[in-house]
C-alpha cells in the first residue's frame, strides 16, 4: 500500500467516529425540547386562566329582564286584598330574553294566574315568597322554548 493510504487509514482508526459526537449533542437537545414542551403544557393546563378552549365553552351571560308592575286580587274569600308586585327575571341567554319579550302577553298571563290564585297567607312569610318564586320559575320555564328563567327578583311586593 502506498504510504499516504496507510496514513489515512491510521487517522481514521485513531479518530472517534463522527456519529458518536453527534449523538452526545443530540440527546441533551432532545431532552431539553421534551422538558420545555412538558413545562409549557403543564403551565397552560394548570396555571393559564384565559385559554382559548375556556372562551369557546363559556356559557352565555345571564340577562336581567325588567317586568311591568302587576296588581292582582288575592284569593282571600272573606275580604278583598290586593298584591302589587314588580319583578325582574334573570334569564340564561339573550335568546331567552328575546322570546320572553316577544311572548310577553303569555308570560304575564302565567304570572297573573299564579299570583291571583294565592291568598295573603300564601305569600306572607319569606319562605312563602321563596315558594312563589319557584312556582313562577317552573311555570315560565315550561312555556319558554329558547332559554330558561334562572331566578326571579321581587323589587316591589306590597299587600293591601
CA dihedral 138, 141, 142, 147 (to 10 degrees): -160
Which residues on neighbouring strands pair with residue 72, listed in sequence order? 83
* 14 pLDDT tier (thresholds 50, 70, 90): low
Distances (CA, A) of 152 to 2, 51, 79, 100: 102, 33, 28, 13
Considering only CA atoms, which of 92, 74, 85 is closest in space to residue 140?
A: 92
CB atoms within 10 A of CB 96: 25
Q: What is the pTM of this model?
A: 0.62
Give the closest residue to 150 by CA, choosing from 159, 138, 158, 160. 138
Instruction: Write down the domain spans for the chain.
Output: 3-56, 63-159
CATH class given for the domain over 63-159: alpha beta
More confident of the two residues 2 and 56: 2
pLDDT digits (tens, 9 = 90+) for 75-112: 987 888 999 999 999 999 999 999 999 999 999 999 99
What are 20-62's pLDDT values in tens digits?
666 677 777 777 667 777 777 767 777 765 544 444 555 668 9
- Predicted pLDDT of residue 12: 56
Amino acid at each position: 500500500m502506498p504510504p499516504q493510504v496507510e496514513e489515512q487509514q491510521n487517522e481514521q482508526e485513531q479518530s472517534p467516529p463522527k456519529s458518536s459526537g453527534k449523538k452526545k449533542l443530540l440527546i441533551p437537545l432532545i431532552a431539553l425540547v421534551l422538558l420545555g414542551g412538558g413545562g409549557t403544557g403543564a403551565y397552560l393546563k394548570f396555571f393559564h386562566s384565559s385559554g382559548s378552549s375556556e372562551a369557546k365553552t363559556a356559557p352565555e351571560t345571564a340577562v336581567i329582564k325588567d317586568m311591568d308592575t302587576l296588581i292582582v286580587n288575592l284569593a282571600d274569600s272573606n275580604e278583598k286584598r290586593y298584591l302589587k308586585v314588580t319583578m325582574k327575571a334573570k334569564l340564561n341567554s339573550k335568546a331567552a330574553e328575546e322570546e320572553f319579550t316577544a311572548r310577553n302577553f303569555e308570560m304575564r298571563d302565567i304570572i297573573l294566574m299564579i299570583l291571583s290564585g294565592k291568598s295573603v297567607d300564601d305569600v306572607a312569610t319569606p319562605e312563602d315568597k321563596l315558594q312563589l318564586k319557584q312556582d313562577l320559575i317552573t311555570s315560565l320555564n315550561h312555556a319558554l322554548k329558547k332559554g330558561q328563567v334562572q331566578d326571579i327578583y321581587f323589587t316591589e311586593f306590597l299587600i293591601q
